[in-house]
Structures are given as C-alpha cells and as structure tokens.
A and B are shown apart, each in its own frame.
Chain A
Amino acid sequence: MNADERDRLKKLLQEALPPTKNDESERDLWPALLRRLDVETAAPNFNWAWFDGALAAALVGAVALFPAAIPVALYYL
C-alpha cells in the first residue's frame, strides 16, 4: 500500500466516520459513581482465586479423611 492509497483510505474513513465533535457530557456523573461505590462497598467481593478454592477443598478433604486430627489442629491454633 503506497502513500497515495493510504491517504485516500484515510480520507474515505474520515468521511464515513466523522471525528466526534460534541465530546462533553452534560450530566454530572459523580452521583452515578457514588452509587457504584456504595453498591460495591456493600457487597463484599467473593471472587475467589482458584488457589483459594483448592486450599479450602484440601482442608475439607483433610478433615473428612482424618477427623481425629481436628483436636490436634485446634490445640496448635
């Protein structure tokens, strides 16, 4: 693609999709952001990583297999 073709393509693109002009929001978005902050703060995030899940599963598995170890584990806690 030579420079001429590139320029023609750019011009065509600008005619098809004119640059945005009105780039100002008339709304104050701060209240919407505050609502978002409230929602996210109220709802704790339970997005566990796979490692957390694996650790919890291993713990449950260990307790199920060796119930006698529970008092020992509690003693050392």
Chain B
Amino acid sequence: MQNEPSSVLNQFQQGDLDAFEALFHEHQRAVYGWILRIVRNAAAAEELTVESFWRIWRAHARFNPAMGFEGWARRIATRVAFDWLRSAKPQHELTAELLAEAAAPEVTDAAVTAEIRRKTALAFGRLPPKLRIAATLAVIEEQPQKDVAAALGISVAAVKLRVFRALRLLRKDLQREGIRP
C-alpha cells in the first residue's frame, strides 16, 4: 500500500484528479477501517471517510510525496474522527443501540455480566475524546503504539500516558458505579 508510483503521488500533489481517484481507490478501505475502529459506527465511518478524502484533496498542495500517502491520510482521518467524537451528541456515542451492534465477545468471563459490560461501555463513552481515541486504538483494537502515535501526531510515550489516564479514569468511574475491575 505504500508503494504507489512516485509519479501518482507527484501528480496528486499537483492537483491531478485522476491521480487522486487512483489513491482514493487504493486507500479507501484502509481509511474506512481505521475510522470505523475509532467511531465504531459504520454509517458515520462512511461519512467521515468521504470527509477525510475531501480534506485530503483540499490539502494536496501541502502533501509531501517523499513521506508516503498512507500515514498522511491516516493522520487526517484520525483528526476527522476525533472532531466527530468531540462534537457527537451523547445519543451518537455508546448508546444501547450501538452496543447492540457490536459483535458478541468471543471469550467472555462468566463473572462479567451483560450489565457490567454495558456500564463499562457507557463509562468508556464518558471519557474525554482525546483519551478515548488513544485507548480505543491501543487497548481495544490493539494497534501498534507507534501507529497510534503517528496517527495522533504525538509520541509513543504520550500514547502510553493517555492510555494510562484513560484506564485510571475508567476505573474511578466504574468504582463509583460499584464495579471493581
């Protein structure tokens, strides 16, 4: 995916729509999948994929072909998804409807009841978006921390710190609900 001919990247950088279309079709799935991991809502992920590529097109003149397209696109997509998380109303967040859409876990601890899982998901949805996005990618989706750091435009150490803070806040919130992880 990172082996686009440099001519395509150069043409895109110069504003060639055909080159942009080629890059779009090459990267659409990856960008959509990345956004879906963050927002966990298929319909929103499609909209945000379009928004991401729209922003990518607008920024074509600032693109550096030497740096490759995938990482740059992922960073813009992460920003778009972050903006969505930040502006999403509570009903768009981890509501019962979205929770029902999530696949049933493969390995479930018998002691972890559906009620605890629901409360955990809701508590996670209450975390600040900045922490939630880092924890979603690094903990739930188990993405490599260096990829998460690159997508968020921060260092690996900062990703670790955000995950730590997210888990600590989550634990406090769960304890208030009477759940001891």
Which residues of A are at the interface with B, using a C-beta cutoff of 8 A? 1, 5-6, 8-25, 27-30, 32-33, 36-37, 40
B24 touches A16 (CB 8 A): no
Does B156 sit within 8 A of A, measured CB to CB? no
Residues in A neighbouring B167, C-beta threshold 8 A = 1, 6, 9-10
A33: contacting residue among B50, B106, B164, CB under 8 A: B50
Tell me the bound Cα distance from A27 to B42 in angstroms. 11
B123 to A, closest residue via Cβ: A16
B32 touches A9 (CB 8 A): no
A17: contacting residue among B25, B28, B49, B140, CB under 8 A: B140
Residues in A neighbouring B141, C-beta threshold 8 A = 19-20
Residues in B neighbouring A29, C-beta threshold 8 A = 24, 28, 32, 46, 49-50, 53
B120: contacting residue among A12, A23, A27, CB under 8 A: A12
Tell me the bound Cα distance from A20 to B49 in angstroms. 16
A14: contacting residue among B45, B105, B170, CB under 8 A: B105
Smallest beta-carbon distance A71→chain B, Å: 41
Residues in B neighbouring A16, C-beta threshold 8 A = 116-118, 120-121, 124
A12 touches B116 (CB 8 A): yes
